[in-house]
Amino acid sequence: MTITTSSHVSTSPRALVLREAFEQGRLIKVAGAHDGLSGRLAEEAGFDALWASGLEISAAHGLPDVSLLGMSEYLSGASAMQQAVSIPVVADCDTGFGGDLNAAYTMMRYEGAGIAGVCIEDKIFPKRNSFLDNGQVLLEADEFGRKLEAAKRAQTRDETVLIARTEAFIAGMGVEEALSRCHQYVDAGADAVLVHSKLAEASEVISFMREWNHRAPVVVVPTTYSAFSVQEAQAAGVSMVIYANQGMRASVRAVRDTWATVIAEGSTASVEPHIATVKDIFSLSGIDEWLGDDK
């Protein structure tokens, strides 16, 4: 397969930030987001990067994370985020939205939108969210390796980071399978690996780290094993920790409680002290940059 991409290849400073952090062994703290505003809140809190979460972007459309939206819709979410913040965005690109050619096209389009990191996972298309019990079916490792190679061939900037995610633990396989897949994925050109787990403690991730021997940077998503701290991740040799959906979960609880109070009380008076001001929304959405003193 020959893929023709734009001949003009500029440097992406945001992708460089990611690549350099990986090289220097600095732990990167990443927050899940689904649009410009949720991205800005994470940047303001001090996160190093954003995760353009497939779960969050799907849920924001009122849809489950089961491959219903298309690549353009996920890209539009990731791109809105990347435009709103100055930190890098790591895009959750599911399976690469199809086969090898789709993975190549995904890389082409996400890189074109200035996205710093592209993550694809070794499940079959259509995929289902990792926390759903059924339908966690993996591609053969060789086949996923070819998908990674196709994405790499489509890449035009050296600094863009391709993350290969294994769902071996999610599919009930052991550490040997997770390790052998990740070695194969790095051989195929992945710059880092994401090892997902849905256990209540970090045991799978920790046993993976013991055997992995720092071959390439490792990304983890401690959603179910929430007690796993940044310090423990660092001690285990992890390079990137993604808090994939806690921001959306916090918003859902806050909005639900607020609306319930308004319906129960018949006015917004008692919620006012607990909700952000309109001025805060103006400020988060960049009013100063757009209008300056002319507000």
Binding site for ligand SPV (CB under 6 A): 32, 53-55, 65, 92, 129-130, 221, 223, 244-245
Question: Quick one: 54 or 77, whose CB is closer to Mg ion?
Answer: 54
- Smallest distance, ligand SPV to C-beta of residue 8, A: 32
Helix (H) or strand (E) holding 240: strand 240-243
Decide: 135 and 181 in contact? Cβ < 8 Å.
no
Check if 65 is active-site: yes
244 binds, among ligand SPV, Mg ion, none (CB under 5 to 8 A by kind): ligand SPV
Of these, 32, 36, 39, 54, which contacts Mg ion (CB under 5 A)?
54
Active-site residue (options: 48, 65, 94, 100): 65
217 binds, among Mg ion, ligand SPV, none (CB under 5 to 8 A by kind): none
Decide: 190 and 216 in contact? Cβ < 8 Å.
yes
CB atoms under 10 Å from CB of 183, counted, come to 15
Rounded distance, CA 181 to CA 177, Å?
Answer: 6
Number of residues that bind Mg ion (CB under 5 A): 2
Residue 161, beta-bridge partner list: 117
103 binds, among Mg ion, ligand SPV, none (CB under 5 to 8 A by kind): none
- Smallest distance, Mg ion to C-beta of residue 205, A: 17
Rounded distance, CA 274 to CA 257, Å?
Answer: 11
Question: Quick one: 109 or 165, whose CB is closer to Mg ion?
Answer: 165
Dihedral of the CA atoms 64, 67, 70, 76 (nearest 10)?
A: 50
Question: Quick one: 54 or 222, whose CB is closer to Mg ion?
Answer: 54
130 binds, among ligand SPV, Mg ion, none (CB under 5 to 8 A by kind): ligand SPV
- Smallest distance, Mg ion to C-beta of residue 245, A: 9
Per-residue tokens: 223: 């959603």
Helix (H) or strand (E) holding 176: helix 175-187
- Smallest distance, ligand SPV to C-beta of residue 145, A: 20
Give the number of residues written for the chain.
295
- Smallest distance, ligand SPV to C-beta of residue 286, A: 26
Per-residue tokens: 214: 């720092």
Rounded distance, CA 32 to CA 45, Å?
Answer: 12
245 binds, among Mg ion, ligand SPV, none (CB under 5 to 8 A by kind): ligand SPV
CB atoms under 10 Å from CB of 11, counted, come to 10
Question: Quick one: 103 or 159, whose CB is closer to ligand SPV?
Answer: 103
Decide: 119 and 194 in contact? Cβ < 8 Å.
yes
Integer-rounded Cα radius of gyration of the chain: 20
Of these, 43, 48, 56, 92, which contacts Mg ion (CB under 5 A)?
92
Question: Quick one: 32 or 39, whose CB is closer to ligand SPV?
Answer: 32
- Under the rule (CB under 5 A), what is the footprint of Mg ion? 54, 92
Among all residues, which ones are annotated catalytic?
A: 65
